[in-house]
Structure 1
Amino acid sequence: MKSKIYEYNNKKTKMTMSKKINLILALAVAITFTACKKDATTESPETTQQEVKSDAKIVSLNGAISETIAALGHADQLVGRDVTSTFPTDLTAKDLGHVGRGMTIEGIMSVNPTLIIGTAKEENPDLMTKIKESGIKLELVNQEYSVEGAKNLIKKVAEILGNADVQKLNDKIDADIAQVQPIEKKPKVLFIYARGTHMLNVSGTGTPMDALIKIAGGENAVTGFSDFKTLTPESLIQGNPDIILMFDSGSQSLGGLEGVLKIPGMEQTNAGKNKKIITMDGGLISNFGPRTGEAALELNKKLIEATK
């Protein structure tokens, strides 16, 4: 009898211990699950990365990048900019580190950035190497001189900043492009980059000016080369543009309209004979960022007026 009671009690004890073990395991699983869930919601890599992005101190190496950062609402995170970063105008008014075209790693490091953004076409490979060696996060964005290229640049910069609000910027570009009017007889337009009389270059194919002229309804007066070449009287006469396009600052460096008309060979072109000189803001023409549609529309209106 005692043996049976002992066997029964032993079974009862085993069952009780089994239940306790199961309960302990269940609690352990629950605690682990809760901890994992907490980690997933408060300390996930994505959230941490988002927090880093929102606190990033940014140096921009490109005017289009700076303009896009500002348009996306992150201008207050900029601590340094290059010389082409002139829009919006409050960027030039702010006390930002001016890292310039001839920027150095020392100049960049002096503003203590945590993020550097430029374009993949940045021309200083030595500087890019030094930035990578510094350990500062570097993001290089592809830049294509087209409407879709501008939208892609906006999208990429937004992704870098953890910002998904790009639709209104794209809608603005589309709305402006929709207002561009076709020009029946496309004028031949020559873009001249000037920094005084001793530096005159003309824009060939593959440049932002070449792309903008086409979007606005004109055609580039020179197509025999890509990028920029020094302007000569012979090439100016041979190209025989109907209209000259320049930066406001470029025209001013020559003394305004009268100075532009004194460029050797100009008086023998249609543009020179008819005094068809168009000037526009440099950043607006060349950035191919959020104001791409605005730039195309403004140039389109000026071309239509000049061809009347």
Structure 2
Amino acid sequence: MRTTFSYRAIFALLIIFFFSIKPALSVAGKPLRIVSVNGTLSEILVGLGLESQIVGVDVTSTYPASLDKIPKVGHNRSISAEGILALNPDMIVVSDQSMLSPTVTKQLGSTGKKVVTFKQDLSQEGTIKLIREMGAYFNAKTQAEKMVKTVQTDLAKLPKAAAQKKLLFIYARGTGTLMVSGKNTSLDKMFSLIGHKNAVTDFTDFKPLTSESLLAANPDVLVLFSSGLESVDGIEGLLKVPGIAYTSAGKNKKIVSMDGQLLTGFGPRLGKAAAELAQKVQ
């Protein structure tokens, strides 16, 4: 009798321990309600089989297309706690790259909502680590490994660059808002991943585009988001921006564009993004 009781007690303790280190995917018998304020995290959540539990996303959550049907809470840099709380989530997932303001994070925490932050390192290894960490956290390791295998397979097929070129990313929202990407940005990391280099190396983050700095950098290829290129009226419109036409990229009309989230997400589609950029650059 005592032995049976001991086994039952030990089993009960193991169950309690297991669930104490893993998040419950339901609350009071109802599916956990999740708000994601990062496009890459949203994409991974879908890959883990949790799309039906996502009740809100930020505007960078554009893939898969089914996320368009989910309520938006704004851009991760300008999200308000009120917009998130209106969706009555049980959990808010954020990336350390999202730059959700400390004030908003504190407001959410004070209401009893669980805010979970995942570290996102912008590299092949960092992407794989992020997917596995989210898979472990949400008890979906099998689904996570499927995504990891896809990333590894796609990147293994990535051809080596025939010759290293200087690439310059321009963030555009009309000709009135033109910024260039410096070191340690997602674009800088992507350029390195495909065997090319950033045309500017004297600053980090983003700075306003000037004709002087543009000519000094003299990029071989200009890279923009598809939406950004559209905002300046396409390639011909971009060539009218002072200095562009005098660069090697401008003279050769070597201007490429890609979907913004695909290009900078460093998520499950990293290999596909790298392959597409590499092909367009060549």
Q: TM-score, normalised by structure 1?
A: 0.84
2: CA distance, partners of 1:282 / 1:38: 49
Q: Closer, same or farther in 2 for the Cα pair 1:97/1:32, shift >3 Å?
A: farther
Deviation at 1:87, TM superposition (A): 0.7
Query: Which of the residues 38, 55, 70 maps onto 2:46?
Result: 70
Equivalent in the alignment of 1:100: 75
Query: Which of the residues 268, 272, 292 maps onto 2:246?
Result: 268
1:53-92 counterparts in 2 under 5 A? 53=25, 55-92=31-68
Q: Does 2:113 match 1:141?
A: no
Deviation at 1:207, TM superposition (A): 0.6
Tell me if the contact between 1:202 and 1:229 (Cα under 8 Å) persists in the aligned partners.
yes
- What SS does the corresponding residue of 2:25 show, helix, strand or coil? helix
Deviation at 1:90, TM superposition (A): 0.8
Equivalent in the alignment of 1:183: 161
Letter in 2 for 1:215: L
Q: Does 2:106 match 1:129?
A: yes
Query: Which of the residues 273, 286, 295 maps onto 2:264?
Result: 286
* TM-align CA RMSD: 1.8
Tell me if the contact between 2:132 and 2:145 (Cα under 8 Å) persists in the aligned partners.
no
Q: Give the length in aligned residue pairs.
A: 275
> Which stretches of structure 1, 4 residues or more, deviate above 6 A after TM superposition?
none
Tell me if the contact between 2:211 and 2:243 (Cα under 8 Å) persists in the aligned partners.
yes
Equivalent in the alignment of 1:36: 9
Unaligned runs of 5+ residues in structure 1 are 1-26
2: CA distance, partners of 1:46 / 1:250: 48
Q: Deviations over 1:151-183 (max 9, x none)?
A: 111112212212112222111111111122222
Equivalent in the alignment of 2:150: 172
Equivalent in the alignment of 2:195: 217
Query: Which of the residues 32, 41, 52 maps onto 2:24?
Result: 52
Name the stretch that deviates more: 105-114 or 127-136. Answer: 127-136
Q: Does 2:132 match 1:159?
A: no
Identity across aligned pairs (percent)? Answer: 38
Unaligned runs of 5+ residues in structure 2 are none
Tell me if the contact between 1:53 and 1:160 (Cα under 8 Å) persists in the aligned partners.
no
Equivalent in the alignment of 2:171: 193
Deviation at 1:138, TM superposition (A): 1.2
Q: Deviations over 1:221-280 (max 9, x none)?
A: 001111111111111111100000000000011111111111110011000000000000
Deviation at 1:125, TM superposition (A): 1.4
- What SS does the corresponding residue of 1:251 show, helix, strand or coil? helix
- What SS does the corresponding residue of 2:55 show, helix, strand or coil? strand
2: CA distance, partners of 1:134 / 1:122: 21
Letter in 1 for 2:16: S
Equivalent in the alignment of 1:16: none
Letter in 1 for 2:79: M
Query: Which of the residues 298, 301, 305 maps onto 2:276?
Result: 298
Tell me if the contact between 2:57 and 2:70 (Cα under 8 Å) persists in the aligned partners.
no
Equivalent in the alignment of 2:87: 111
Deviation at 1:37, TM superposition (A): 5.3
